[in-house]
Structure 1
Amino acid sequence: MHKWILIAILCILFPVAAMAQTGKIAGKVTDRETGEPLIGANVVIEGTDRGAATNINGEYVILNVPIGKVTLVSSYIGYQQITIRDILIKSNETTSTDFRLPSEAFKVGEVEIIAEKPLVDKNVTNSKSTVTQEEIENLPVRGVENIAALQAGTVSQDGDLHVRGSRGDMTGYIVDGVNVNDPVYGGRSLTVINNAIAEVNFQAGGYSAEFGGANGGLISTTTRTGSRKYQFGLEAYTDSWGTPGEENFLGSYNYGLSQYVMTAAGPLVGPVRFFVAGQNTFQRTPAQYRDPMDLANKYDMALRSTAAHAVLAPEEQAKVGIFDPRLGSAAKKVDFTYPGGLIYNNAQEAYALNGNLTIDLNPINIRVGGTYGYSTVRDGDYTVGTTNPVPVDGPVQRGYQVGRTAYFDQTAQQWFYNTGENISYGNQHRALQTESENYSANLKMTHLLSQNTFYEIFVNYFGNFNLAMDPYHQHDLFAYGDSAANSPLGYEFRGDGIGPLPIELFGDQYEVYGSPARGYAYQKDRYSSISAKLNFVHQIGRTHEIKLGGEASQYDVRQFDITPFTLRSFVRNNPDATDGQIAVSSRTNNYGYNEWGIPVDDGANGPKKPVFASVYALDKIELEDLIINVGLRWDFIDTDTKEFVDPNKIKFDEEGLISQKDDNLKDVEASSTFSPRLGFSFPVTDQTVFYAQYGKFVQQSRLRDVYLGSAISANNIRGGYAIQNPVGYGLRPETTIQYDFGFRQQIGENLAFDIGAFYKDIRDQIQQQQIPAASGAQHRAYFAWINGDFATTSGLSLKIDLRRTERIQASIDYTYADARGTGSAPSSAFRALWLSPTETPYLPKYTTSLDFDQTHRGALNIDYRFSNNDGPEIGGMHPFENLGLNMLFTFNSGHPYTLVDENSYDNRRQPVEVLNESRTPWNFQLDARLDKTVTIASLDFNFYVWVVNLLDTRNVTDVFIQSGSASDDGYLSTTTGNQLVQAYEAYGSVYSDLYREYYYQTNVMNAPLYGPPRQVRLGLRIDF
C-alpha cells in the first residue's frame, strides 16, 4: 500500500531525483588601472539575492551555487559595474572568477563579458571530467553509463562498466548528491531520463571523503531544476521507419525502437518552481547482427516424428516459416526460414518519470522530488539449439556441446545429421516475462546561516521490485508442474514427470509447442531503503572550506525464488511433507517471504535489514599556488547476516534445514573502517597545473553475494553441488588503495591536455572456494564465496580538449592500462575447483591479465556546428545556420581469453596455453548525429538523424574459445567432427555446409559475439 501512496504523491508533485548538488564561486575584485584590491565590493548572482562582499584582500566566496550557467555582477562605489555571463558551475568544484573594475572617471560604457568554460581547472586534485547538458544533447549516445564509458579510464564490456581494472559492481552512482547504487545486484538503482540531465560528472578515482561505497569510479549525475520562465520540450526518435525483417536504408534493420520524452519546467506559485520529465521506450528486439536464414529446399532431411502435436501454433508458423510435412505435405525437404534482425517475442518496454519542486524561502531552500520507473521484458530466444554454452574465464566466452551425430537413411539413401539438441523455435510465444519497478521520494533542505556557513539535510526513500514468471501460469506455482494445466498449451510430460516430451522433426529434437523458452523458474525480489544525510559547510576566509557530514541507510531486502516444476510432483508423492521439506526439495530461496512466497517480517525467514553508515570530515585548502584536499572517512557496515560456527561441520534440523541454534550460527561482526584521502594541486601558472592524489576506499560486496535462504542453502551444502554462483558466509568489505598523479596544460587560447598516471591495488575481492567437510559431518564439501582475490592496475590516461574554434569543438580520451589479478569474476576459479580430484583443492596465487583488460581504449568526438545567422548567405537567408554534425569514433584493443583443447567440452575444457594469453581483435566504431534547428514563431524544431555504427563495422567482441573465432565454433575441426565428415564421403561436404549455415545463422548470431550493427534513427525535438 505504501508504494501506491508514494506514486500518488509523485503524480501530485511532479517530482524526480531531488537533492541537486552545488558548487562554489571564488575570486578577487581589483582596480583595473592599479591592480589594488577593492574592499567591500559586491558580487551578486544575477536574478537572485545570493552574493558576497570582498574582504580586505579583495577576495570573495559564494557558497551553495546551483550547477549550470550563472551570471555574476560586481559593483563598487566609484567604479563601473561589470557583468560576466555564462559562468559554468560544476558540482563540488570551485569556479574562479575575477573582476577588474574600471573607475567611473574613465567612461567605457556598459561592460559585459561572456565567460568561457575553463580548459585548466587548478582546483581539481584528481582525474575528473564533466559533460554538460549541451554536450549531452549533441552526442550520438544516450544514457549515463554510455556517456561515462567515453571518458578516460573506463572499459565497457559485456554490459558492465569497469573503471581502471575494477570489477563491474565496483562503480558508484550518485544522483543529486545521494548514493543510488543497487545494493543487491550492483549498478544504478533508479532511472534517470536523458533529457532531465543537467550534468554528468565522472571521477576515475581520488574522490573526496564525502563519497564512499565505490571502489572503482564515481559517476555523479545532476538533474535539471525549475526555471524562472516556463519551458516545455517534446522529443521522439525511432528506427521503425523500415520494414521489419528486411534490410532498409544503408543496409540497416528495423529493430522496433522508439522513444518519446516530455519535459516541462517553470514557476508555480510564489517561490515554488517545478521540473518534470516523462519517458516511454519500446524496442521490439535487441539490436544484434542477425542475418536472415533460409534453408528452404536446400537439404534433404529425414522425417522421423511420431509426436501428435505441431512444433508451432498455426498463427506462429506463418511468422517464422517452419514448414512441417505432418501438416499435409509429403515433401522431405526442410523448409526453414527466419528473417534477419529479429527475435520473436523479445520485446521490452519501459516508462520513467522524473521531477522535482524547489521552494526558495531565503535563507531556507527546500527541494522535494522523486522518480518512478517500470519495465517489462519478454525473454524470447533466437537460438535453434539449446546448448547453453557454459562460460569459461568470463561471462560470454562461448563453447559448444560435443555429442552431435550423423546417420544414413537407408530408405532415402541420403546422409543426414542430427544435433541431438532441443530446438526452441516452438516456444517463443511462451517466453519468460520479467517485470521491474523502482520508485523513490526525497527531500533536501538547505539553510544558509551566514554568507560563509550553511548546512543541508537529506532524506531519501527508495524501493525496487522485480518479478520473473511464466506468462501463462504466472503466480500459480502448482500449475507449472500440472500436466492438466499444461495440456491445453500442447505441453506433454515425460513418464518421469520431470520434463516435456520432445518431438523429432527432420532428424532433430524440438521442444513441443507451448513449453517455456527459458525454463520453469518463478522469482521475485523486493528491496527498499530509507536514508538520511547531513552536511555542514563553513568557509574560513578565502583559504579553508571545512565540510563535515554523515550518512546512514537501512535496507529491507526480500527474495523468493523457486523451481515450481518439481513442486507439484513432490507434494503429490509426499503428502505429509512439512513446509521446510517442500522448500528444500524445490530449492526454494526465500527470505522476507515464507516457503510459499507470502511476505513475512520476522523469524528465520524474515527480511534482511543491513545498515550502512558513514561519517566524514574534509578541508579544502585553497592557496594561491597550492590546493590541498584532505579528508578522513569512517564506514560502518552491518550486513545483518550469519556465518557458521564451524563451516566444516554444519548442523541441520529435523526438516533438513540449516539449524538456527547458537551452536551452529553466529552473527557476522559489523565492519568498521577508516579511509584517509589526500589530494594536491600545484598551479605553476594559470595554464599549467600538476596534481597528485592518494586514497583508501572500501566497499561491501553485492548483497546478492551474502544472502541465501535456509532451504536452498541446506540443499546446496548437503548435496555438495558444484554451484557456480553461491554465496559467502561472513564476507568482509573489499579494499582499494589508489594513487593518481598528472598535469594539465593549456596551449594557446583554445587547446588543453590532461595527462595522468595511476596505480590501483585491490584486496579482499570475492573468490570461489570449496569448503571441505569434516569427519562425521552431515554434508559434503560445498562451494562458497570467500575474500581471496586481488588485483593491481596501472596505466596512463590522456585527455585533449579543443574549445569551439571556427565552428569545431573536439575532445580525445585515451587510456593505456594493464589490469592484472587472480580472478576476473568471483566464479573465475569454478572450473579449477570442480575438476579438482580432492575436496581440498589448491588454488595457486598468481596474476594474469583480467578478462576485461583492454590495453588501449579511446574516444574521439568532433562537433562541427553553425551558430545562429552563421554560414554562407543565400537570398538573404543562412541555410546552414543551426546545423550541426557530431561524429564519435571509439576504438579499443581486444580483451584476453584462453584457448582450450577443441576436443574437450563443457566444464572439463582443458587450456592449451597460459591463462588469458590470447586476445580478441581490435574494435573500431563510428557513430554520427546530424541535426538542424528551425525556429517557427516561438517553437524550435530540431530535426536529427542518428546513426549507430555508421560504417557497419562487424566488430568481434567475443570468440569461441575452442577456435578463437566468432564465426566458427570449432566443432568440425574436432576429432569427432572430422570423423563424421570423412565417414560419409560424398555427403561429408553436405554435412559441413549444413552445419555451418544452420548453426552459425542461429547460435552464433544469437550470442553477443559482435558489437552493435548499423542502426538509423530519425528524431525530432521541439522546445518552446
Structure 2
Amino acid sequence: MMNLTGKHIIATLGLLLSVLTVTAQGKLKGTLTDSETGQPLIGATVQIVGTYKGTSADVDGKYEIKDIKPGDYSIKISFIGFAAKVFNGITIKDGETTKLDASLEPRSQTLQEVTIVGEANLVDLESGKSEVSIGQDDIEEMNVRDVKEVVSMQAGVNTTTDGIQIRGGRVYETEYLIDGISAQDPLAGSGSGADVSANAAADVTVITGGQGAEFGGSSAGVISTKIREGGDKFQIGGSWQRDNLGFDKDNAYSWNTDIIELNMGGPVPGTKKKVKFFTAIQSIMSDNYFGPTANQLESSILRTNYNRSGNDWLNDNVIDPLNQGKFWAPRQRNNWSHTLKLSWQIKEGTRLSLTNQHSLNINQNTRTLQIVGFDAILLPGFQFRRSLNLDNATTYTHHSNLTALNFNHFLNDKWNLDVSVGRLFTNLRADANGRPFRTETVDQILDEQSIITDPVQLYNPGDEIVYTIPSPWLINNGGISSLWHDHYAQEYTLKYKFRFYPNSKIHKITFGHEHKFTGYQWVDVTRPWVGAPIRIDENTTTPNRSIGSSFDIWSVNAMNGGLFAQDVITYKGIIATLGMRLNYWAPGKFADDAVENPNSPVVDQVRQNYEEETFGLFGQRWKARLLPRINVSFPVTENNVLYFNYSHSMRLPHPRFVYQGLDPDFQDRSFLSNLGNPNINPEVNVSYEVGMKSQLTKDLAFTLSAFNNNRFDYIVSRRVLVEDQTGRPVSKQMYINQDYAKIQGVELGVFLRIGEHFKAFANGTYQVARGKSNSAREAGLQIEQNGEVELTREQYLAFDRPWNFNGGVTFSPDSTLKLWGYSLGGWRVFLKQSYRSGYRYTPVEQVGTNDLGRPIYAPDNDRYLQEIGTPWISTDIKVSKTFYFNDNSKTGITLSIELRNALDNKRAQIVNPVTGTAYEQGDPVTNSYRDPRYLGPQETGALPNNPARYLPPRQLLYGISFKF
C-alpha cells in the first residue's frame, strides 16, 4: 500500500494543473488595417492585457495568438503613428478560435491616445498606480451632490469635520484639479477652493498612490475633475430636492433644505457642431440640523464689491442698493456654483476648450477658515456659545472663480502638445455677520464674553459676594464676534506638456513645464474694536492706537513651478514608468526684502540660512527639490497584475508660516504674535506601495495594496526673541521644519457587475497614522512644557482613523426586466453603506472633587490618543422612478425619495473622554465644560450639549427632475 506524503500531494496537484493548462486553451486571430486607406498594418502589436502574451501582424496585417487560457480579456492593438485601441470583454473559449479585426486611426486625426471599445474594465491592468476613475454615467446613478461626495466613497479616502483626507494625510495635502488647473485655495486650508456639482462632472479621477511626474502640488493624493461638454444635440435638465412638503416641516428629518440644479448643453448654432457648450448651476440652501439660526446672514464681500476699489479692506460702510449682501444668503448654509464650458473642435487632432467654475459659499461654519497645520483639528464649526444670538456671530463668505483654457494638438503622428492656461481667484471674508471692520465710535462694551444680559441667575444671593451666571450659560453676544478676517489668493498657471511616440514600440515619453504666478493678501484681526477711536461726545476723541488686540497683515507676490519628464516603458506585458520632477519656488520680493531689512524681525540664523540655502535668479531668491517617481506593473498570471511604486512628493507650506509678522510697518507687539520664517521648507512625503489588481472576469475584479508613507519636515512652532523697531526684545512664536509622521495601511477593493441591471462595489482600509504632534501649535506647547526631547516620542495622530469601509449597490433595470408581469424599466435604486472608525481621544482619570462635589478629571497622558470613539456608521438610499416620454427616449420626468443616514445612527464628532461617546444628559464631563449637575461660579466653558456633537441625523428628501 502506497503512503501519500505532502510532497506527493503537491506534485499530483501540480501535474493536474499543468494538464488543465495544456488542454484548456483557445486562439485569437484577426486582421489589422489603416482606417483611412484600408492597407494592412504590417508589424502592428497585439497584446493581451494582463498577460505576457502578444504578437505582431504579418505582411497582410494578419495575426494569431495560440494557447490562451479560457477567460475574459482586454486586447490592446497598437502601431507606430496610430492611436491604440483596447477591446474589453473579449471572451476566449476552450478549443475555439475568437476572431477580432480592427482598424486604427492615425494619431494626427484624433485626440484620443487610446480608444476603448466595449464596457469599461472594472480595474486598469496597465496602470501601476492606485487610481480609480468614476465616469458620468456612474456619477448620475449615485445619490451624490458634488465631487467631494464621489471621492469620499473611494478606498484610502476618509472624511473628517475638516474635509477629505487621503491615506492619513492632512486635509490640505491633497491636490485638487479642475480641467488641469489647481482649484485649491492655498490660504483657506479647507480643501478645494472651487466646488463642482455632481451633474457638471464628466469624470472624476482619484489617485491615492503612484501619481505621475506631471503632478507637483500634492504630498497625499490627487483629485482631478473633468468638466462635462455639450453633445451633438441640445439637452436641458434640472432637479429640485427639499426635505419637507409643508405638512412635515417640523419633523426631525427636516431643517429647511432646498437643492436646485439646472444644466443644459449642445452645439452652438451656426458652427456645424464644431463648437459646443455646457452650463450648469447648483444651489444648496439649508438651515442645518442644529436648531438655532440667525434671522438673516449678510455677506460683506458681496456688499462691498458693489463699489469697492483697490485693497481698501477697512472701508466697508458702503451702500448696497441691490441688496446683494443678503440676497445670496437666505439660510444658515448657502452654497452656489456655476459651471460653463465651451469646446471647439478646430480640426481633426486640434481642439480648444474654455472652462469657468464659479463658487460662492456663505455660512457660519468656523471650519471654513483653517490655518492648515496650525489650528486645532477635528472640531465642528457650529458656533454653539453664540447660539443665543447668531445675528452677531461670525459669518464666512468664500468666493472663488476658476478659469481654464486648454489647447490640444497633434503636431504629427509622433508628437502631441497640450497647453493649459488658468486663473484661480479666491476670496474669503469673516466678520460679525456683515458688520463693518470697526465703528468710528465705540462707547459700549463689545467683548461678548463680558456682557451680562437676561436671563441671569444669581449664585449665593444672600452672601456678601454675589455672582451672576448667565443662563443658559452661553455667550450673550450683544456685542460682536471677536474675529475679522479677509484674504484673497490669485494664481495664474501656465502648463505645457509634450508627448513623444518614438519609432520604438517600447517607449512613450512625456515632458513639460508648469509655472505659477501667485498673489496673496492676508488680514487677520482679533477683537478689532480695540484701539478704535472712542468718542464720548463730540468734543472728546481718543486717537487710533492699534489694529485690534492682535493682528496679522501682509500682501505678497511669489512664484513656483516644476519641470517634469517621464518615460513609460512597455515590454511584453511589463510596464515601467520612470519619472522625475524638479520643483522650484521663490518666496518673492516681500520675503527677500524682509531678510535684507534690518528693521524686519527676522532671526539672525534665519537670515544666514536663507542666503546659504537659496540661489539668485531673475532678481529673486529661489529654492528647488528633485522628486523621483517610479512605478512598475507586470502580470503574475492571466489578468492578475502585481505593481509597485515609489515616489517623492512635496507640499509648499501655508503662506502664513512664511510671511506672518515680517512687514516692518505692521508689527503686532502682543504676547500672542507669531513670526513667519522665509527659509521654511516644504513638507515632504516619501511613499512606497505594493499592490495587486485582478480582473477575474469581465464583471468581477478586485484590488489589494499595502502602502507606507513617511512624511518629513512637518512644521512646528517655537518661541524666539526678536527686537522690535525700538530695539526692545519681543517674544514671538516662529515656525520651523522639525516634525514627522508615518502612515502605514492596507486597502482592498471589490467591483462587481451582475447582468445588465446590478453594479456593486466595496472597499476597506486599515491604516495607522503616528507622529510627534498633530499641529504646529501643539508641537510648540510640547517644546515649551517638556523641552525638545518630547518631540522624539511617537504617538497616534488625532486624525488617525484605522478602519474605513464603503459599499454601494446600484439597481437600474431596463424595460426587459419584469416583476409579476410589470416592467421595472425606469426604476433606479442606489444604496450606500459606510463604516468609519470614530475620532481618537485621550482617556481621563478622576483625581478628586471640587467644593461643589463635582468630579475633577485629568488626562491619562500615558495613553495619549490611544482610545477611539464610537464609529461613524451611515446608510444612504435613493429610490427613483422615471416616466419616459416615449419608449426610445432617455428623456422624461423622474420622482425620487432619498434618505441620508437612513438608520439615524448617532455619530460622535465631539467625544466625551469620560465615556468615550458623545455627551448625553446626565453624563459626567471634564473640566473644560460646564457640568449642568453642579451650579457655581467655578463652572466655566460651554455646556456639553452642543447639538454639533453629532453628525447630521436622518434626513428625508423628496425630489423631482427632468431631462429633455
Aligned residue type for 2:836 = N
C-alpha deviation, 1:578, in angstroms: 9.5
Which of 789, 795, 804 is the aligned partner of 1:857? 804
| C-alpha distance in structure 2 between counterparts of 1:272 and 1:945, whole Å | 39
Q: Which residue of 2 aligns with 1:539?
A: 501
CA contact under 8 A between 1:346 and 1:378: conserved in structure 2? no
| C-alpha distance in structure 2 between counterparts of 1:642 and 1:536, whole Å | 35
Mapping of 1:779-818 within 5 angstroms?
779-805=729-755, 807-818=757-768
Provide, for residues 815-844 of structure 1, a one-character-per-residue CA deviation record: whole Å limited to 9, x for no partner.
1111111122332324434646xxx66533
3-state DSSP of counterpart to 1:610:
strand
C-alpha deviation, 1:898, in angstroms: 1.1
CA contact under 8 A between 2:470 and 2:476: conserved in structure 1? no
C-alpha deviation, 1:1013, in angstroms: 0.8
Which of 710, 724, 728 is the aligned partner of 1:761? 710
Rate the CA distance shift 1:642–1:608 in 2: closer, same or farther, 3 A.
closer
Q: Which residue of 1 aligns with 2:843?
A: 899
Aligned residue type for 1:213 = G
CA contact under 8 A between 1:658 and 1:713: conserved in structure 2? no
| C-alpha distance in structure 1 between counterparts of 2:772 and 2:763, whole Å | 28
3-state DSSP of counterpart to 2:819:
coil
CA contact under 8 A between 2:515 and 2:562: conserved in structure 1? yes
Aligned residue type for 1:1014 = R
C-alpha deviation, 1:203, in angstroms: 1.0
Which of 547, 559, 562 is the aligned partner of 1:614? 562
Q: Which residue of 2 aligns with 1:156?
A: 159
Aligned residue type for 1:170 = E
Rate the CA distance shift 1:133–1:512 in 2: closer, same or farther, 3 A.
closer
C-alpha deviation, 1:345, in angstroms: 8.8
C-alpha deviation, 1:478, in angstroms: 2.8
CA contact under 8 A between 2:647 and 2:687: conserved in structure 1? yes
Q: Which residue of 1 aligns with 2:34?
A: 42
Q: Which residue of 1 aligns with 2:345?
A: 360
Which of 1007, 1013, 1017 is the aligned partner of 2:957? 1017
| C-alpha distance in structure 2 between counterparts of 1:900 and 1:712, whole Å | 45
| C-alpha distance in structure 1 between counterparts of 2:597 and 2:151, whole Å | 46
- Unaligned 5+ segments in structure 2 are 1-25, 48-59, 64-73, 78-82, 91-97, 103-115, 296-328, 368-372, 459-468, 615-621, 851-855
Q: Which residue of 2 aligns with 1:444?
A: 406
3-state DSSP of counterpart to 1:540:
coil
Provide, for residues 948-978 of structure 1, a one-character-per-residue CA deviation record: whole Å limited to 9, x for no partner.
0111111223312355331159985779999
Does 1:217 find its partner at 2:221? yes
Q: Which residue of 1 aligns with 2:285?
A: 283
Does 1:505 find its partner at 2:456? yes
Bigger relative contact order (CA 8 A; separation at least 6): 1
Q: Which residue of 1 aligns with 2:15?
A: none
3-state DSSP of counterpart to 1:629:
strand
Rate the CA distance shift 1:177–1:114 in 2: closer, same or farther, 3 A.
closer
Provide, for residues 852-872 of structure 1, a one-character-per-residue CA deviation record: whole Å limited to 9, x for no partner.
212111101111221233223
Q: Which residue of 2 aligns with 1:624?
A: 572
Q: Which residue of 2 aligns with 1:302?
A: none
CA contact under 8 A between 1:88 and 1:117: conserved in structure 2? no
Aligned residue type for 2:877 = A
| C-alpha distance in structure 2 between counterparts of 1:689 and 1:788, whole Å | 39
CA contact under 8 A between 1:902 and 1:963: conserved in structure 2? no
CA contact under 8 A between 1:459 and 1:533: conserved in structure 2? yes
Provide, for residues 73-113 of structure 1, a one-character-per-residue CA deviation record: whole Å limited to 9, x for no partner.
xxx9999xxxxxx9999xxx986238976799xxxxxxxx9
| C-alpha distance in structure 1 between counterparts of 2:28 and 2:411, whole Å | 33
TM-score between the two structures when normalised by the length of structure 1: 0.71
CA contact under 8 A between 1:899 and 1:913: conserved in structure 2? no
Q: Which residue of 2 aligns with 1:913?
A: 862
Q: Which residue of 2 aligns with 1:889?
A: 833
Aligned residue type for 1:745 = S
Q: Which residue of 1 aligns with 2:689?
A: 740
Q: Which residue of 1 aligns with 2:672?
A: 721
CA contact under 8 A between 2:702 and 2:749: conserved in structure 1? yes
Does 1:239 find its partner at 2:199? no
C-alpha deviation, 1:850, in angstroms: 1.3
Q: Which residue of 2 aligns with 1:96?
A: 86
Rate the CA distance shift 1:462–1:976 in 2: closer, same or farther, 3 A.
closer
| C-alpha distance in structure 1 between counterparts of 2:563 and 2:602, whole Å | 37
Aligned residue type for 2:802 = T
C-alpha deviation, 1:900, in angstroms: 4.0
| C-alpha distance in structure 1 between counterparts of 2:734 and 2:742, whole Å | 24
Q: Which residue of 2 aligns with 1:731?
A: 680
Q: Which residue of 2 aligns with 1:690?
A: 642
| C-alpha distance in structure 2 between counterparts of 1:613 and 1:394, whole Å | 30
| C-alpha distance in structure 1 between counterparts of 2:928 and 2:487, whole Å | 45
3-state DSSP of counterpart to 1:566:
coil
Identity within the alignment, %: 19
CA contact under 8 A between 2:162 and 2:378: conserved in structure 1? no
| C-alpha distance in structure 2 between counterparts of 1:366 and 1:545, whole Å | 24
C-alpha deviation, 1:571, in angstroms: 9.5
C-alpha deviation, 1:212, in angstroms: 1.1
Q: Which residue of 2 aligns with 1:430?
A: 392
| C-alpha distance in structure 1 between counterparts of 2:385 and 2:351, whole Å | 62
| C-alpha distance in structure 1 between counterparts of 2:365 and 2:351, whole Å | 46
Rate the CA distance shift 1:644–1:966 in 2: closer, same or farther, 3 A.
farther
Does 1:122 find its partner at 2:125? yes
C-alpha deviation, 1:743, in angstroms: 1.1
Q: Which moved more, 1:449-458 or 1:625-634?
A: 449-458
Does 1:553 find its partner at 2:553? no
C-alpha deviation, 1:684, in angstroms: 3.4
Which of 44, 50, 56 is the aligned partner of 1:58? 44
Mapping of 1:516-535 within 5 angstroms?
519-535=481-497
Q: Which residue of 2 aligns with 1:460?
A: 422
- Unaligned 5+ segments in structure 1 are 1-32, 45-50, 62-75, 80-85, 105-112, 294-311, 314-343, 382-390, 400-420, 484-491, 592-606, 981-990
Q: Which residue of 1 aligns with 2:439?
A: 478
Q: Which moved more, 1:613-622 or 1:707-716?
A: 707-716
Q: Which residue of 2 aligns with 1:966?
A: 918
Q: Which residue of 2 aligns with 1:992?
A: 933
3-state DSSP of counterpart to 1:829:
helix
Q: Which residue of 2 aligns with 1:332?
A: none
Aligned residue type for 1:259 = I
3-state DSSP of counterpart to 1:706:
helix
TM-score between the two structures when normalised by the length of structure 2: 0.75
Q: Which residue of 2 aligns with 1:674?
A: 626
C-alpha deviation, 1:765, in angstroms: 0.8
CA contact under 8 A between 2:900 and 2:954: conserved in structure 1? yes
C-alpha deviation, 1:894, in angstroms: 2.8
Q: Which residue of 2 aligns with 1:333?
A: none
CA contact under 8 A between 1:345 and 1:378: conserved in structure 2? no
C-alpha deviation, 1:209, in angstroms: 0.5
Provide, for residues 255-297 of structure 1, a one-character-per-residue CA deviation record: whole Å limited to 9, x for no partner.
4333333332334323533333332424332235x6x99xxxx
C-alpha deviation, 1:524, in angstroms: 1.7
| C-alpha distance in structure 1 between counterparts of 2:581 and 2:691, whole Å | 24
Q: Which residue of 2 aligns with 1:259?
A: 260
Q: Which residue of 2 aligns with 1:950?
A: 902
C-alpha deviation, 1:540, in angstroms: 2.5
| C-alpha distance in structure 1 between counterparts of 2:511 and 2:541, whole Å | 60
Q: CA RMSD in A?
A: 4.7
| C-alpha distance in structure 1 between counterparts of 2:435 and 2:230, whole Å | 46
Q: Which residue of 1 aligns with 2:360?
A: 374
| C-alpha distance in structure 1 between counterparts of 2:350 and 2:101, whole Å | 37
CA contact under 8 A between 2:268 and 2:275: conserved in structure 1? yes
3-state DSSP of counterpart to 1:929:
strand
| C-alpha distance in structure 1 between counterparts of 2:540 and 2:587, whole Å | 38
